[in-house]
Amino acid sequence: MTASVAVARAAWLVPLTLLLLSIHQGKAARDLGVTLDRGEPAMAEVTRYLRSDRKDVTQAEVDLRVQLADGSTLVHDRLALPYSVAHRVDAESLAVRVLPGAAQEIVIVEIGPTQRRIAWSNAAMSAVMLIISTIGVFAWNRQVGRNQAD
């Protein structure tokens, strides 16, 4: 097997990665929606808010402590936030929806719908790129196969 054949075969990793990314983002959007729709409303105490505005590192995250109606406490540390909407949750307490045991247990009401749209958008973009890359890799492998036969 020549190097060009090996590289053309290995290129199938690109569509595979995009497929996995599409599935992951679709699941994330669905999980956010389930918690937003079925979760119980609660107030969360923000125990830590971090927003890094450095040029090389832009990130935002919060630590939340939620007192549930049954008296139990749910704690989530390092809950990552979309940087572009993180300024909307810079407060001492936040309205949340909580669904214990769910894939996404806590969703901040203020930014939940936006997070869901971002995840659906990511899933759609990676699905489009999956189609484009699959066509490209297929054509490339076909061309390499024809050249090998000659």
Question: And the tokens for 83?
Answer: 């940087």
Domain boundaries, the chain: 15-149
> Which residue has 């000659």 as its token pair?
150
pLDDT tens series, the chain, 150 aa: 788 899 999 999 999 999 999 999 999 999 999 999 999 999 999 999 999 888 888 889 999 999 998 999 999 999 989 888 888 988 999 999 999 999 999 999 999 999 999 999 999 999 999 999 999 999 999 999 998 877
Contacts of 35 (CB under 8 A, 6+ apart): 97, 98, 99, 102, 104, 105, 106, 107, 112
Counted residue by residue, the chain has a size of 150
- State the pLDDT at residue 83: 86
- State the pLDDT at residue 137: 98
* Nearest residue to 61 (alpha-carbon basis) of 76, 44, 39, 73: 76
- State the pLDDT at residue 49: 93
What pTM does this model have? 0.87
What is the residue type of 140? W
